[in-house]
Amino acid sequence: MTPESQVLSVASWLLVVTFLQLALYPSLKKCLKQYAFPASFAASLLLFTILTWYCGLARFPVQFALVPFVLLFAYHLYRRNYTWVELKKEWRWELIFLIFFSLMLTVRFVNPTISYAEKFMDHAFLASIMRNPVVPPLDPWFAGGTMDVYYYLGYWIFGCLGIVSGVPSNVAFNLSLPTVLGVAAVTVYAIGTLLLNRFRWLPLLLFFIPNPSLFYQLITGSSISSALWNSTRTITNTINEYPLFSFTWGDLHAHVISIFNQVLLIFLLIYLYKFWDTLESRGRWLICGLAALSLGSMPLINTWDVLIYAPITVLVAVLIIWQGWKKGQGISSWSQLIAVPPLAIIIYLPFYQMLTTSTGGIAIVRTPSDPFQFLLVNGWFIAIFLLFLLKDIRGRPYLLLVAVPFVLAGYTAAAIAAIPLIYFLAKKEHSVPDLLAIFGLALLILVELFYLKDNMGDTYFRMNTVFKCYVPAWIILGISSLSMIGAWLSRPGRVPVMPARKSTALAILVVGLLFVVPFLVPLDLNYGSRTLDGLAYLDSSHPGDAGGAAYLRNLTGNEILVEAVGGDYTYYSRISSFTGIPAVLGEPFHEDMWRGDTTGWYSTRPADVRSIYENPDQTVALMKKYNATLLYVGDEEKETYNVSLPSTGIERVYSGQGTDIYRLAE
């Protein structure tokens, strides 16, 4: 793609995102007041998502989902709800979104390639949805299968944004994470504004601070790139990512996409907790409806999140009800809260009816985290909490005994988290940061004691549990600890108020430096850069596949592809990944994790693909077995198989740079 077309893609994408947000924003003003503008970023995305999802379920064009937004926008125009005076008041929120969007866009510009880690999978799902936006979406790595074995809604969100904005998947891939970060940042800033009178920007640091392990790696001699990676593999046989790594690494993966939705739910719960008594019934229903939409989207975006945030939502509701009970309020005043969990299930009920995957249940952790490694990951938060609790610890040292049972049972890391937890629980009055600390610390302890069974084997038995729970823990604990610091700094006499001109100059300097950093740090890992086209690197590194993929991406209609089957996390399965056209089999280990091998496909499909390439007498028959229409022969196929194709039954439709594509003759 030319630079000009990429600029147009960014503009078109932002135009759609901004239109969705502005269309919804006035509808939230009455109940969310000054927070309506920032909340409408994430809320409009979720509303757009559910509308497009039901369009896909009903086999309607997803563009129909824009109609309610157009009508809403027209209604607010007619009612003159968009005035220049009102919109000027919201410039800070828009600026926060654009700064973080642009910052992440710069990172993707430096490191755009769809080329390693989970990027092949992420783009495969995105491209499949954009080729054929139906529910459930087609599985690009398992011909005849669908994505009802995986949580795919995050890819659906950005695939549909790509469709309505006219942005191709190879660029939409690199606009998605900037959108996630921009929306998440504006919501976190809203949380900071809710909790702090000054230093409202401090919670935003949760996106920038690394864990202590990164500094430990650097001190012990690791290079910057290896230290960054090793800091997320600190706890033995697990993954402990944090936002700074996740965003710079650049996988458009479910655990990263979900961040914008997590912080929206946190914002909504805090708002309900603080202002429940002042809200009218209509406002309560609206905010609880948004909370239900957010919570209900979690199983489809990143299922692990709902296991964390559903209990938190219930606990916040219990706290609100308890406060109301003490004031003599009746059950009628809590009906909206009680409705949130069932509404969260009902809004995406067809998803659960189609879902075919399952988990192995809960088990007890027998080899918990090494306490030193645990602190290398969570040490900032533990240290901050202990500093703020120092007076309480001196006053009631006997509460330290809560750690003893954990230590005796061999769960020393859990004991470390239990110490600040018990002191927060023992407080007579709990601020919102206190409650967040309680939720986050309890999550860390639970992850030390229990894990969800999967098929990762005995060595990596708790890898996914730590991986998927530590990102929410980082967000919750980050908001909590940074808000505590902000409140402390805001006390009279701590930090003098800086003149507006100086604070503005300092902010511009810091933001400017942030934009320079991606060009100084080697983020591209020796792949292509300086573009937003995630497939541009193919022109130089794999010219045969560049032409072949470009040809296939221009095809429309229902196609099924035969390509070489190889190992996961390699260059194999690349054509289905680049095009979204389903292959007979993509990455086998991923598919085995998702759907299991109940029919014996794990051995049958690779053997059939080999026969298609090597046994010309079976090529046509086996292609028909899988309804395959296209046969791809590139460098990977020639290296993997002794390619011998029939002279009849297939016809060559593309040839270039050593790559041939054949179509099954009708």
Query: Tens digit of pLDDT for each residue in 136-145?
Result: 999 999 999 9
What average pLDDT does the chain have? 95
Which amino acid appears at position 326 of this protein? K
- DSSP letter string over 531-590? SS-TTTTHHHH-HHHHHHHHHHHT--S---EE-----TTSSTTHHHHHH-PPBS-S-HHH
Q: What was the pLDDT predicted at 1? A: 85
Which amino acid appears at position 120 of this protein? F
Provide the 3-class DSSP secondary structure of residue 502. Answer: helix
For residue 666, name the pLDDT band (cuts at 50, 70, 90): confident
Contacts 24+ apart (CB under 8 A), 403-411: 410/368, 411/365, 411/368, 411/448, 411/449
Alpha-carbon gap, residue 347 to 293, rounded angstroms: 7
Largest CA distance in the chain: 87
Question: Per-residue pLDDT for 103 more than 90?
Answer: yes
Over range 386-403, report the average pLDDT.
97
Q: Is 394 exposed, middle or buried (0-12, 13-18, 19+ CB in 10 A)?
A: exposed
Q: Report residue 532 as tokens.
A: 């937003």
Q: What was the pLDDT predicted at 358? A: 67
Question: Per-residue pLDDT for 478 more than 80?
Answer: yes
Block residue for tokens 């989207």 = 297
Question: Per-residue pLDDT for 17 more than 80?
Answer: yes
Question: Per-residue pLDDT for 332 more than 70?
Answer: no
Determine if residue 239 is left, alpha or beta; phi over 0 gives left, psi from -120 to 50 gives alpha, anything else beta: beta
Question: Per-residue pLDDT for 357 more than 80?
Answer: no
| Torsion of Cα atoms, 32 then 33 then 39 then 40, to 10° | 100
For residue 263, name the pLDDT band (cuts at 50, 70, 90): very high
Question: Per-residue pLDDT for 518 more than 70?
Answer: yes
Block residue for tokens 């709800």 = 81
For residue 171, name the pLDDT band (cuts at 50, 70, 90): very high
Q: What was the pLDDT predicted at 327? A: 78
Q: What was the pLDDT predicted at 143? A: 97
Above pLDDT 70, what percent of the chain?
99
The per-residue pLDDT for range 487-515, each reduced to its tens digit, is: 999 998 889 888 988 889 999 999 999 99
The per-residue pLDDT for range 315-328, each reduced to its tens digit, is: 999 999 998 887 77
Question: Per-residue pLDDT for 359 more than 90?
Answer: no
DSSP 146: B
Instruction: Using only the alpha carbons of the chain, give its radius of gyration.
Output: 26
Query: Hey, which bits of 247-405 come out as E strands?
Result: 362-364
Scanning 206-242, the segments in alpha helix (DSSP H) are 212-219, 224-230
**Which pairing describes strands 630-633 and 659-664: parallel, antiparallel, or unpaired?**
antiparallel
Please answer whether residues 14 and 176 qualify as being in contact, where contact means their C-beta atoms are separated by less than 8 angstroms: no
Determine if residue 361 is left, alpha or beta; phi over 0 gives left, psi from -120 to 50 gives alpha, anything else beta: left
The per-residue pLDDT for range 522-566, each reduced to its tens digit, is: 776 667 779 999 999 999 999 999 999 999 999 999 999 999 999
Alpha-carbon gap, residue 268 to 200, rounded angstroms: 17
Over range 295-310, report the average pLDDT.
97
Contacts 24+ apart (CB under 8 A), 146-150: 148/354, 148/355, 148/356, 148/357, 149/356, 149/357, 149/594, 149/595, 150/125, 150/357, 150/594
pTM for the model stands at 0.96
Above pLDDT 90, what percent of the chain?
89
Over range 403-415, report the average pLDDT.
97
